[in-house]
Amino acid sequence: MKGLSSLIEALSDYLPQVSVILLAVISFCVLIVFKKRRNKSRDRKVIYWMIILSVIFIFNNISMEFMGKLTDSDTFYRFLWAVPVFYVIGYSMVLLIEKKHHFLSKCTLAVMVLLCMMAYGSSYMQERNISFVGNFEKMPEEVRAVCKVIEENKNEENPVCAMELDLQSRVRANNPSLVWAVKRKQYLYFEKYGYDYPNGKYVDARNILKVVERGIRIDKDVFKASLKKKKVDFLTVNKKLRVKEYLNEVGLELVGETEHYRVYHVPEE
Amino acid sequence: MFVIIECSCVIIFFLYIFTVLGVMTSRIIKRSSTLSESLLIGFFAYFLLFQCVALPMVLLKQSVSLLCAIWVGVLIAMVVGSCVFLIKSRLEYVSYVSIRKKKKRDIKCYFVVSAVVIIFSYLVIIQDYWEWDTAFYIGTINTSVKTNTMYLINGESGKPETLLPFRYALSCFYMNSAVFCRITGIEVVYFQKYVIAILCVVLSFIVVYAIGKILFHNNMKNVALFVILFATINLIFGTEYTTSQFLILRAYEAKAFCANVVMPTIYWLLMLLYNDLDHQGNWRLLFLVMLASVPVSMSSILLAPALIGIVILAQIIVDRNWKYLRMTLICMAPNIIYLIVYLLYTLKIFVIKV
């Protein structure tokens, strides 16, 4: 049963992508079979040349390297936006519906609908993505509360704040005077390699994140030194990490509490 | 409740400005356009105009308040000019919305398409997606609004920039949001997640509708079905590399406009040109869209010229008619210029210190 459930999980991960590709291929075949065109020979030649030119200028390693130098090789997938997949799928389905009295078109349409249903598990209309009117502001109350505590206790115009990712990603949308202590690329580095990766990179960010994200009680002097190097003014920690005594021993000053978080001020030395 | 009314008023204002600008632009480029096409054309004309005003101010490190002052003047001029234009043309353009000339079945199809757009817009605005890019773009606009600067402070981290980041600063899309948030007082989160997201959905379905009319030769029943299927397929397939992620989850980002408005508009124009490469009006419109593509989204800098280059070059090779190569290169020129400037920035030859 475990093997079956892991198979189902793997299928649900890959099925949407496979379904889109299959649908696109079937749609293309539908257009060739069902669509009447005046100048088939010219159309075919134009399509062949478009594919050849796409490979020469876009879908090859040299272009990908060039794109990587220009922006980011991770953004190369945007060239796929030039392929009008959904338009082709929609067009072919309408053609099939028009010719629904043909047996072949009925079968093809049934297969396409089945592929759509198989992909539904990946749909964006999932509970986890949706917030209803109760969260019209798109800003959790906790974020506002933490920002309010920091605003009431800050001495500087732009305090540097360290907090867990969920909170940090939203605070500047609420209060742009706050400055992140840990940058995005540092977060992503530790997400990829973990906190115990034997490498000297981003040492101070790693020390701060170990406490703030995982509640790991690292050496107090090392932690204090990292806070000083990063010029952190405020530290916000989730109550469930249970590091209250540890942070008191480090010498941080508790300035406020919300429902889920404690906000500490890092004193100047 | 007041926020909902404010956002709705801003959306209606944008739709009005886009439509009027589109009608005037169609006249200038000598291309007859329907009401929906005018709205689409006006969107590109608006951001092109905004770029002409905002980009020099961004490069000269001017304040958002100065940009607001100038842009308010331009908007007032647009509104007054549009009223004069409509009155002078004896409201002939109002006949676009005249339903007396339309068939009953076509009217039902317009309602179906409108209903799809409204339902899809609702499904988009209830999404609660918040990732790194969200933090960056909303942070950038919020920073501009509160600090009265444009791209001088990193929107994500809040730290001052050392060089003006051309990757974002060359496109003034987000500064338009900053201007409107400063003028109206609407919070940036609401403005992006409601106003901009709905505009993206409306414009994207206008392009789908326009493409449908070509594919089905104005058979409105099939066009309505095409729109419904397009919406359904986008909702069903939650895959990372398609445009649906940007349309549903990230419709407030400039990249979403690139994927769902700019690129499809280029498909639409290429389809029109495929049938008639001699149509000057469509070539002029393609040039306008290309000129406005980077002001809308920096992601268009390579995508848009690559698409038109490949499609038209393929036709030129097959037909052995090289006279269209000159027009293709002219259309690609704006993006190539932006690309050269951006390359000079990445090579640290042309930078602006902050």
Mean pLDDT of B150-171: 92
Mean pLDDT of A90-106: 84
Residue B198 exposed, middle or buried by CB count within 10 Å (0-12, 13-18, 19+): buried
B53: in domain: yes
Residues A235, A119 share a domain = no
Residue B270 has pLDDT above 80, yes or no: yes
Select from B234, B245, B319 the Cβ nearest to the Cβ of A86: B234
A228: in domain: yes
Residue B65 has pLDDT above 90, yes or no: yes
Are residues A146 and A167 in contact, defined by beta-carbon separation less than 8 angstroms?
yes
Residues A145, A125 share a domain = no
Residues A155, A105 share a domain = no
Mutation pick from B234, B318, B335 vs chain A, by most beta carbons of A within 10 Å, is B318
Place of tokens 């609004």: B145
Residues A235, A163 share a domain = yes
Lookup: tokens for B177: 């949001």
Tell me how close the Cα of B167 comes to any Cα of chain A, in angstroms: 8
Are residues B289 and B266 in contact, defined by beta-carbon separation less than 8 angstroms?
yes
Last residue of a domain, one of A103, A129, A155: A129
Residue B91 has pLDDT above 60, yes or no: no
Residues from chain A that touch B208, judged by Cβ atoms under 8 A, are 87
CA distance A124 to A121: 9
Are residues B95 and B105 in contact, defined by beta-carbon separation less than 8 angstroms?
no
DSSP string, A210-245: HHHHH-----HHHHHHHHHHTT--EEEEEGGG--HH
Give the pLDDT score at A63. 78
Mutation pick from A14, A86, A98, A167 vs chain B, by most beta carbons of B within 10 Å, is A86
Residues A117, A32 share a domain = yes
B231: in domain: yes
Residues from chain B that touch A46, judged by Cβ atoms under 8 A, are 314-315, 318
Tell me how close the Cα of B302 comes to any Cα of chain A, in angstroms: 9
A134: in domain: no
Are residues B212 and B223 in contact, defined by beta-carbon separation less than 8 angstroms?
yes
- Lowest model confidence (mean pLDDT) among A186-190, A197-201, B196-200, B313-317: A197-201
Residue A61 exposed, middle or buried by CB count within 10 Å (0-12, 13-18, 19+): exposed
Residues A166, A85 share a domain = no
Give the pLDDT score at B301. 92
Residues A116, A150 share a domain = no
Residue A231's closest CA among A200, A204, A261, A249? A204
Buried b or exposed e, range B1-19, using 16+ CB within 10 angstroms? eeeeebbeebbeebbebbb
Query: What is the span of the domain harbouring residue B267?
Result: 2-346
Q: At A195, is the pLDDT very low, low, confident or very high (cuts 50, 70, 90)?
A: confident
Distances (CA, A) of B246 to A120, B201, B243: 18, 10, 5
Residues A87, A27 share a domain = yes
B352: in domain: no
Q: Are B239 and A78 within 8 A, CB to CB?
A: no
Query: What distance separates the 2 farthest-apart alpha carbons in chain A?
Result: 83
B36: in domain: yes
A135: in domain: no
Are residues B293 and B335 in contact, defined by beta-carbon separation less than 8 angstroms?
yes
What contacts A96, CB < 8 A, 6 or more positions away?
A30, A34, A105, A108, A109, A112
CB atoms within 10 A of CB A56: 12
Place of tokens 């079937």: A26
Tens of pLDDT along A219-231? 999 999 999 999 9
Mean pLDDT of A149-178: 90
Q: Domains in chain A: how many in total?
A: 2
Give the pLDDT score at A133. 45
Last residue of a domain, one of A96, A129, A162: A129
The better pLDDT of the pair A150, A19 is held by: A150
Give the pLDDT score at A1. 54
Residues A251, A173 share a domain = yes
- Lowest model confidence (mean pLDDT) among A192-201, B67-76, B92-101, B187-196: B92-101
Residues A214, A109 share a domain = no
What contacts B133, CB < 8 A, 6 or more positions away?
B250, B253
A172: in domain: yes
A237: in domain: yes
CA distance B254 to B93: 31
Tens of pLDDT along B103-131? 666 788 889 999 999 999 998 888 878 88
Are residues B184 and B170 in contact, defined by beta-carbon separation less than 8 angstroms?
no
Residue B14 has pLDDT above 90, yes or no: yes
Residue A134 has pLDDT above 60, yes or no: no
Mean pLDDT of B222-242: 86
B353: in domain: no
Report the complex ipTM. Answer: 0.89
B110: in domain: yes
Query: What is the span of the domain harbouring residue A51?
Result: 2-129
DSSP string, A180-208: ESS-HHHHHHHHHH-TT-S--TTHHHHHH
A136: in domain: no
Backbone phi, psi, residue A232, to 5°: -75, 135
Tens of pLDDT along A112-124? 888 877 776 666 6
Q: Does B345 touch chain A (CB under 8 A)?
A: no
Q: Domains in chain B: how many in total?
A: 1
Last residue of a domain, one of A81, A103, A129: A129
Tens of pLDDT along B174-184? 999 999 999 99
Distances (CA, A) of B91 to B29, B122, B195: 20, 33, 28
Residues A161, A116 share a domain = no
